[in-house]
Chains A and B, each alone.
Chain A
Amino acid sequence: MLEGFLIGLETALSIKNLLMVIGGCIIGTFIGMLPGLGPMSIIAIMIPVAISIGDPSAAIILLAGVYYGAVFGGSTSSILINAPGVASTVATSFDGYPMTRQGKAGKALTIAAIASFAGGTIGAILLVLFAPALASVALLFHSSEYFALMVVGLSAIAAFAGTGQITKAVLMTIAGLVLATIGEGAQFNMPRFTMGIMDLQSGIGFITLAMAMFAIPETLFLILDPNRSGKSNEKQSEITNLRITKDEAKKITPVITRQSLQGFLIGVMPGAGATIASFLGYAVERNLATPEEREQFGKGSVKGLAAPESANNAACTGSFVPLLTLGIPGSGTTAILLGALIALNVSPGPRLMQDQPEIFWSVILSMYFGNLVLLILNLPLIPYIAKVLTVPRTFLIPFILFFTLMGAYIGQNNATELLFLVGLGVTATILRFAAFPLAPLLIGFILGPMLEDNFSRATQLYDGIGFVWERPMTAVLLIMAISLIVLPAWRSRRAAVSLTK
């Protein structure tokens, strides 16, 4: 393990990879501030750029940097103009924006940066400790357990969709799995469900689907409702004093420590992710606070700002645990990163740590450097980067749509792909109007081929589906997957029925 760690350190510290982290963080922060482009869309846009680099370590380090940068950028726009670019930074705006209104924008940004840095760092340390252990356990798994584990992952993602949303999330997951069966898979070497369309022979590109599911609906929503981009017309308060006092530092230290640990654990669970971690972190700290401090929550409390920021960054790092050790993404963003890794011929899973330690460890270590870059480089640059918020929407929206189109075009080098993108994007917008969660669809799409592959291998080994009852671990996991869906759905139905009575 130590040898792998040192190889990773050497890779992560090379000039090229350090530049990738710095570049990724700055690009991510810059774009992450824009309304309509969350981390998922930004990463999807950057994938063709990352793939063109050729070196998998450098590419994934760039994308990871973009990820943290985007989350940080989202926090910045939450604090400065009360316009969270992503759901995970909504809780940041509860106390961040009131601080800005009180003329403490600089202080709020510093607290956010320190909390994010600490959350990310503690998360990275926990990742170093937990990931190898989990990977060595996962090495004992057979294809049937992998299949069952993926079903558990997909069920957990659907189960976390929320009250009244579970059946919809299950439906979207199946839709993603169905879309993944289109085209000529490597396994059977015959085209399936292509409807005679030549361009569907190679299936739907995952970048196209990611853009269609996230970037296009969000941009169309911005066009439909111009007030959606928040109060961007409000005059931005001047970012002057970035310092925090000793007393404030003392107040936020225990909050950051607690929320980093809690956020990391939530992040590890598939489906939970940064959004739940940030809201839960906020709620827990509010309950733990003294009555006087509790009064301040929502009015510019430093604790209320530090809690969601450290929790969401630790959760982002935590979500890398199932991705790197099991090859199972726990969130939409890690699903896109998984797609990028596959495109780079890297297969994440328990063998990654043994077969390509330089990739495994350099990614983990670059997370730490990424957080450091955000703290020492991005924070002083924020007053300048924040100028992007003043770009008028008449320019911003066509450019966002253009970058979305370019991402899909460069990814596949095919103009027909753009038509698929528009068609899928419009469909996704309609689905969002009807409150269908879209992340399960993308995760289903990315896990689809692996799920089918493991299912097929297990079926061939056992000459049928006997593996379900012949391998106890598989059976336990599958029962767990079913309970994850049925129990919350049943509970939500009972709650709704008792409410109507």
Chain B
Amino acid sequence: MALDRYIALIIAVIFLIYGYTAFFEMDGLLPPILKRNPIWPSTFPKILSVIGVFAALSVVINLEKAGKQVGDDLDIAKWREYKVMQALMLVGGMVLYALTLRSLGFLASTFLFLAGGSILLGERRFIRLVLITAIASYGIWYLVDTVLGIYMTPYPSWFIV
């Protein structure tokens, strides 16, 4: 079975859980006065879950009889030729950035993310790398914080200026 049909099957399961919640879990929480209303918070999700399961199963059984499709000229069958490790490590870097943004502060975490990402992709001119990422980190923080007026903690949480 092709990847798209496996994905559609997973989506069908998600829609079934969604539908189960809408049909059997949500209405119990509704105040009695709202039960006299023709429309409940669960009404729209109920309709969506039914249509959604039907649409997902249409893809699973290949109702449209679509041939093999490759998304945007990258073919999952050729995954060994792609730089999967680099992509996974950069995704990991993004997760780390999300987790350290508050504790390390904007400047340090941004510097580490940009520098780490560049090194991971093969950048080896370290002086240039440090200079560009340091200037960019400070410059963007200044722009966002001072010019746009959106506050972002610049320093680590344990660092008191």
Whether B59 contacts A171 by the Cβ 8 Å rule is: yes
**CB of A140 closer than 8 Å to a CB of B:** no
Other contacts beyond A394-B123, A435-B69, A456-B44: 20, CB < 8 A: A164-B66, A171-B55, A171-B59, A178-B45, A188-B41, A190-B29, A221-B74, A223-B90, A397-B90, A398-B90, A398-B118, A418-B94, A419-B98, A422-B95, A431-B7, A431-B71, A455-B39, A456-B43, A460-B38, A489-B64
In the assembled complex, the Cα of A61 lies from the Cα of B74 at a distance in Å of 36
In the assembled complex, the Cα of A489 lies from the Cα of B58 at a distance in Å of 11
8 contacts between A and B (CB under 8 A): A168-B8, A171-B52, A193-B18, A223-B121, A224-B83, A401-B94, A406-B140, A436-B7
* Of listed A171, A228, A402, residue having the most chain B CB within 10 A: A171
Q: How large is the interface on B (under 10, 10 to 19, 20 to 34, 35 or more residues)?
A: 35 or more
Whether B4 contacts A52 by the Cβ 8 Å rule is: no
Q: What chain A residues lie within 8 Å of B29 (beta carbons)?
A: 190
**A395 touches which one: B26, B73, B94, B118 (CB < 8 A)?**
B118
* Of listed B43, B71, B132, B149, residue having the most chain A CB within 10 A: B71
**CB of A167 closer than 8 Å to a CB of B:** yes
In the assembled complex, the Cα of A446 lies from the Cα of B154 at a distance in Å of 33
Whether B83 contacts A223 by the Cβ 8 Å rule is: yes
Shortest CB-to-CB span from A244 to chain B, Å, is: 33
Q: What chain A residues lie within 8 Å of B21 (beta carbons)?
A: 193
Q: What chain B residues lie within 8 Å of A175 (beta carbons)?
A: 11, 52
Knowing A459-B43, A460-B37 are in contact, say whether A496-B63 is a contact too (CB < 8 A): no
Closest to B21 in A: A193
Q: Give residues of chain B (78-103) contacting chain A, Cβ–Cβ below 8 Å.
A: 82-84, 86-87, 90-91, 93-95, 97-99, 101-102
**CB of A413 closer than 8 Å to a CB of B:** yes
Per-residue CB contact flags for chain A residues 166-178 toward chain B (1 = under 8 Å, else 0) read: 1110110011011
**CB of B33 closer than 8 Å to a CB of A:** no
**CB of A393 closer than 8 Å to a CB of B:** yes
In the assembled complex, the Cα of A417 lies from the Cα of B6 at a distance in Å of 28
Shortest CB-to-CB span from A340 to chain B, Å, is: 15
**CB of A388 closer than 8 Å to a CB of B:** no
* 6 A-B pairs with the lowest CB-CB distances in the bound complex, closest first: A398-B117, A164-B66, A418-B98, A496-B65, A394-B123, A434-B4
**B64 touches which one: A185, A413, A432, A496 (CB < 8 A)?**
A496
Number of interchain pairs (Cβ within 8 Å): 196
Shortest CB-to-CB span from B27 to chain A, Å, is: 11
Q: What chain B residues lie within 8 Å of A432 (beta carbons)?
A: 71-72, 74
Q: Give residues of chain A (412-463) contacting chain B, Cβ–Cβ below 8 Å.
A: 413, 415-416, 418-419, 421-422, 425-426, 430-436, 452, 455-456, 459-460, 463
Q: What chain B residues lie within 8 Å of A419 (beta carbons)?
A: 95, 98-99
In the assembled complex, the Cα of A496 lies from the Cα of B149 at a distance in Å of 57
**B45 touches which one: A164, A193, A421 (CB < 8 A)?**
A193
Per-residue CB contact flags for chain A residues 478-501 toward chain B (1 = under 8 Å, else 0) read: 000000000001001100110010
Whether B94 contacts A167 by the Cβ 8 Å rule is: no
In the assembled complex, the Cα of A432 lies from the Cα of B102 at a distance in Å of 32
Whether B18 contacts A168 by the Cβ 8 Å rule is: no
Whether A492 contacts B114 by the Cβ 8 Å rule is: no
Whether A224 contacts B87 by the Cβ 8 Å rule is: yes
Whether A433 contacts B76 by the Cβ 8 Å rule is: yes
Knowing A171-B8, A489-B63 are in contact, say whether A192-B110 is a contact too (CB < 8 A): no
Shortest CB-to-CB span from B50 to chain A, Å, is: 10
Q: What chain A residues lie within 8 Å of B116 (beta carbons)?
A: 398
**B39 touches which one: A167, A190, A431, A456 (CB < 8 A)?**
A456
Closest to A465 in B: B38
Shortest CB-to-CB span from A27 to chain B, Å, is: 13
**CB of B51 closer than 8 Å to a CB of A:** yes
Q: What chain B residues lie within 8 Å of A500 (beta carbons)?
A: 65
**CB of A347 closer than 8 Å to a CB of B:** no
Knowing A402-B113, A406-B144, A418-B101 are in contact, say whether A434-B38 is a contact too (CB < 8 A): no
Shortest CB-to-CB span from A356 to chain B, Å, is: 25
**CB of A69 closer than 8 Å to a CB of B:** no
Q: What chain A residues lie within 8 Å of B73 (beta carbons)?
A: 228
Q: Give residues of chain A (162-220) contacting chain B, Cβ–Cβ below 8 Å.
A: 163-168, 170-171, 174-175, 177-178, 181, 185, 187-188, 190, 192-193, 220
Per-residue CB contact flags for chain B residues 2-17 toward chain A (1 = under 8 Å, else 0) read: 1110011001000100
**CB of B32 closer than 8 Å to a CB of A:** no
**CB of A464 closer than 8 Å to a CB of B:** yes
Q: What chain A residues lie within 8 Å of B74 (beta carbons)?
A: 221, 224-225, 228, 432-433
